[in-house]
A and B are shown apart, each in its own frame.
Chain A
Amino acid sequence: MVWRALHLAELFSDPRWGWVVALCALVALFLVANGFVRQRWKAMGLGSRIHARERALQRAQRSARELREVQAARAAEEASAEAPPRRSARGDVPSPVDGLDRHRTFEVLGRLGQFEQLPELFREIVRSVGEEFGFERAILRVYNPQTRLFEARAFHGCDDELVSRISTTDVTLDCYAGMARRALRVGSSYRVSAADDLWPDRLRPPRSADPRDWRPEDFGEARLEAQGNDDYLVVPMLGEEDRVVGYFCVSMPEDQDLPGENTLMFLEILAHYAVNALNQARLRNRLQRRDIEYSIVSEQLREWQSTRDNFVANVSHELRTPLTSIRAYAETLQRGRDAMDPATLNEFVDVILHESERLARSFDDLLDLSQYQGGSRVQVVSEFDLAVVISAQANAAQQRVKELGLEFEFDVPTEAILIQGDENGIRQVVANLLDNSIKFTPPPGKVTLRLRVQGGVARIEVEDSGIGMEEHELSKIFERFYQVDDSSTRSYGGQGLGLAICREIVSWHHGRIWAERRRSGGSRFVLTLPVRGLVIRRSSADLPADVSERQQWEAFLQLSISLISELLEAQVASILLVDPVHDVLRIEAAIGLPQDVVESVLVDRGEGVAGQVWKTGQSLLVENLDEDDRFRGLHNDVAYDHRSFLSVPLIWQGRVVGVVNVNNHPEGRAFSDDDRLLLEALAERISGALESFERYRAGYRRLASVEAGVRAMLDVGRERHTAMRDLLISIGLETARRLSLEEEHLRALAYALRTYDLGLAQVSEQILRKISPLTSEERHHIENHVHLGAELVAELEPSAQVRNIILHHHENYDGSGYPEGLRGEAIPVGARIVRMVDALSALLHDRPFRAAMSLDEAVALLREGIGRRFCPRVAPVFLELVADRQYEILAAHVRRGARALDDELELIDAHPTLH
């Protein structure tokens, strides 16, 4: 404009006019420049307050100006180079310079508004870009913070092959930065020329040093999206604080003019549109997930609520009943005292007293029950003789029963039946069952109390010839206070909370309780308790003669069998060793089996489950004996009422030297493949220990070291069976399976996952509980736990695998961990998996210095650590499995107690603010 003014001035030959015009032009120039600067100032200073679209518009205007200059410069260049005429790719499709008029702009935006789903919206955006502006190709990429890549989401004008190539091309932040840095910036967009040497600092090293060998793939994005010699325009999608959340990229054939001002502006508006849609979708997604989580938590809450409501209603019924009698008797006494004969008067007073006692007992029961359920009751666990307890109960009841005119019979064995448990609790249960039977048996009936041991299970029966129960009531009576009681039939009126408590106590002992109808009339209450008695074969022919040696051997067997039953939660466990002289398997030690079985069982090769394992050297996992065709009709001597079997060989120097068996009760959980791995791992160590023992006998080794190793493992088995821990271990193992780890590694991992934090037990509680920052010495102590743990297991290790997993489970992928600062793939893969399990487990639990995190927070944190703390190969698989099983985890998380639930609810409450 200024130049034109000057040019005009030249038209006037009169120099005076010329000066005047020139002066005017200068003033005009000043004004324009001034205005421009002011506008710039405004844009910079108040930019944040200007509406996004306005900003986009200004940017676009600026960009258009800048572009035109470039265009002009280029046109001049081309003109001088006398380039040959180029093809025109499109027919009647408008050229980008045409841009859009306002009407069509609104039309397109209006259409976009109809798409709620992101993929559709993105497709529509690139389609609009292509068809409305006439760009040949358009690609939209969105940055995924999880993969740290710009992922292609929508394509226009690309054939299938190109789509698949583009989809599989990784565009990292660095790639993008390279593109943005190098290219010519126009507004917020970048115009990238195919001719530019875009990738001097490309991420992948070229195939060869000779540039002639370079292929398009080596250049990644640039050549691919430009496709040949076209220039292209990259329009970033800018989110908060101008962070790039994605971009779209349109190709510009060289014969085309550069996009017009309107076009550029519109592209940027579309970019904003996409960003908004993306934000909305993310928000929607989060809300939806929260909805699901919320519905699970609230379902659980509802369940609790209804249990509690029923409980309260039923308890209130149980308390009202004696109160009703007390009140009615007292009232009647008060009104008719004078007319009453002394006998009736006495009777009434007696009833009042009796019913008051009943009421008081109900309160006691209620407290007991709540303590058992809340886990706050201090159960004194001791080993006691069940026969003694039952006999005492029988003697106490005998007198009372006789007074009532009933016959009483009891049958209790004289030998000791040792069980581990809460003696008072068991006494209470038996007393309760006896009371019930006595109460509901009218004279001249009979009450029978029986105790016997059968297959590792103590069975107590209380039988009566009383009023009996209907079939459908049998199972309900224990649940009176837990289920919606739709029938108002009460057959066992006035038994208080007794049976509900009995059930709690019995299940705490891993036992069962049920009621049966006797064919001859009356009821039979049966209570079974596992006799966890540990039995070691006495008649072992090859037992060492030396007494202390014999004790050592027994101690070893004892520890091993306890370890197996603890870690696998097995009700019955046995170690069988091959007797080479007679070529049979004999039980050396067992838990849950009677002594006579242990003494007498001989298993031939190929006979039963154990015999087959011996024969084949392969483990056998039977989830349900009844449903497994392989064992149809097979009756194992030691099976009894167990349905899930796991049997693994003890192999030493390639030979089967024994078999380890575990069985679970039909009501208990069936064994899984995870258990198989763990038991195989244990078997390896027991074989190792057997060898150690042989060496010890030969004088090469101290048994104490063997024992210490086993004992330490035993500690791990205890108290650690929480739903969460088991779940995380199972996810850890599944991660390993998906990463195609070999059996041997799986086994090592199965074992390491149970033992990795053994060493922590040796670190002082004081340090672990410390809230304030740790001193370097304290930190050293904690870091040392991996060494301690590794040493503890080392004694029994057949190979260094488990030891290495434990030793390195605090190494970080980037080399910043401890103890050795290993980096990347140098860290054993098992250790990298344990690292994930350990980290997630820690985040989900309360720590002295912070509360437990929600699953979302924990996962986000783990994800953040990928590449730094966590292995980029292991972590995504692990996290995917976590996502798959998030509801199980959430449920376990919630189950851990009210606290975790509160956290979840707090989060849910916080949602509305997300809107």
Chain B
Amino acid sequence: MASPRILIVDDEQTLARVLSFAFTNEAYRVEVASDGIDCMNKISTFEPDAVLMDIMMPKLDGLETIRLLRQHRLHRGLLIVAMSAKALPSDEQAALDAGADFFVKKPFQVAKVLETVLQRLAVSRGSRE
């Protein structure tokens, strides 16, 4: 089984760095994008299995990026995990409405995010096979 690919999209470089470290340790192939535009640029060449998407970002914010991704046929099955420090119930709902698979409130437990992504990927893989 080829190692899963994850794209981490966050303008907060320190956080992207540690997430990248954690996923790499779990044998993911990781790419980092610093905003929505960067994400759109990288997604077609990198072809990730999952995207960790921050919401508050410059240029193109997370919600818009998710919507754009979901419009594209190729990315409809993509696992998208939205994460945000804006953590009101309405913020979570907005992310889910935009098309995120689930929402993680910052600050979060890295292990839990790893676990969730792993599980979800296994499920979608299982269903695909």
Contact = CB atoms under 8 A, between A and B. Distances in A.
Contacts of A321: 12, 85, 106
Contacts of B55: 488
Interface residues of B, number: 30
B88 to A, nearest CB: 6
Interface in A290-328: 313, 316-317, 320-321, 323-328
A378 to B, nearest CB: 33
B11 interface: yes
Contacts of A435: none
A355 interface: yes
B76 interface: no
A488 B110 contact: no
B15 A328 contact: yes
A108 interface: no
Contacts of A344: 21
**Highest count of chain B CB atoms <10 Å: which of A327, A354, A490, A494:** A490
Nearest to A494: B12
Contacts of A773: none
A345 to B, nearest CB: 11
B12 A325 contact: yes
Contact of A328 (B57, B62, B107): B107
B25 interface: yes
Contacts of B108: 324, 327-328
A489 interface: yes
B69 to A, nearest CB: 16
A324 B106 contact: yes
A648 to B, nearest CB: 52
B111 A488 contact: no
Interface residues of A, number: 31
A331 B12 contact: no
A335 B22 CA distance: 10
Interface in B16-67: 17-19, 21-22, 25, 55-63
Contacts of B56: 317, 488-490, 493
Contacts of B110: 328, 331-332
Contacts of A317: 56, 85-86
B18 A328 contact: yes
B86 A493 contact: no
Contact of B57 (A320, A332, A489): A489
A488 B15 contact: no
B19 to A, nearest CB: 7
Contacts of B59: 470, 489, 491
Given A313-B88, A331-B110, A489-B57, A324 B15 contact: yes
B127 interface: no
A355 B61 contact: no
Interface of B is mostly: loop
Contacts of A355: 14
A716 interface: no
B85 A331 contact: no
Contacts of A487: 61
Nearest to A333: B18
B87 interface: yes
A348 interface: yes
Contacts of B22: 328, 332, 336
A329 interface: yes
A344 B24 CA distance: 14
A710 B109 CA distance: 69
A320 B11 contact: no
Contact of B107 (A327, A354, A493): A327
Interface string B55-98: 11111111100000000000000000000111110000000000
A331 B111 contact: yes
**Highest count of chain A CB atoms <10 Å: which of B17, B18, B55:** B18
Contacts of B25: 336, 339
Interface in A481-506: 487-494
A528 B21 CA distance: 45
Contact of B63 (A325, A354, A488): A488
Contacts of A470: 59
Contacts of B12: 321, 324-325, 493-494
Nearest to A469: B58
Contacts of B18: 325, 328-329, 332, 348, 351
Given A323-B107, A493-B12, A493-B56, A328 B19 contact: yes
Contacts of B109: 327, 331
B107 A320 contact: yes
Contacts of B21: 332, 336, 344
A317 B109 CA distance: 17
A111 to B, nearest CB: 56
**Highest count of chain A CB atoms <10 Å: which of B12, B14, B17, B25:** B14
Contacts of A351: 14, 17-18
Contacts of A491: 58-59
A485 to B, nearest CB: 9
A348 to B, nearest CB: 7
Interface string A338-362: 0100001000100100110000000
Interface in A93-149: none
A331 B19 CA distance: 11
B13 to A, nearest CB: 9
B57 A490 contact: yes
**Highest count of chain B CB atoms <10 Å: which of A313, A317, A335, A351:** A317
A489 B86 CA distance: 12
Interface in A806-851: none
B118 to A, nearest CB: 15
A716 to B, nearest CB: 49
Contacts of B62: 488
Contacts of B14: 325, 329, 351, 354-355
Contacts of A316: 85, 87
Contacts of A320: 85, 87, 106-107
Contacts of A490: 11, 56-58, 61
A725 B55 CA distance: 47
Given A320-B87, A328-B19, A493-B12, 5 more contacts: A325-B18, A327-B109, A332-B18, A491-B58, A493-B58
11 contacts: A320-B87, A323-B107, A329-B14, A331-B110, A470-B59, A488-B56, A489-B61, A490-B57, A490-B58, A493-B11, A494-B12
8 nearest interchain CB pairs?
A320-B85, A324-B107, A491-B58, A324-B106, A490-B56, A488-B61, A327-B107, A488-B56
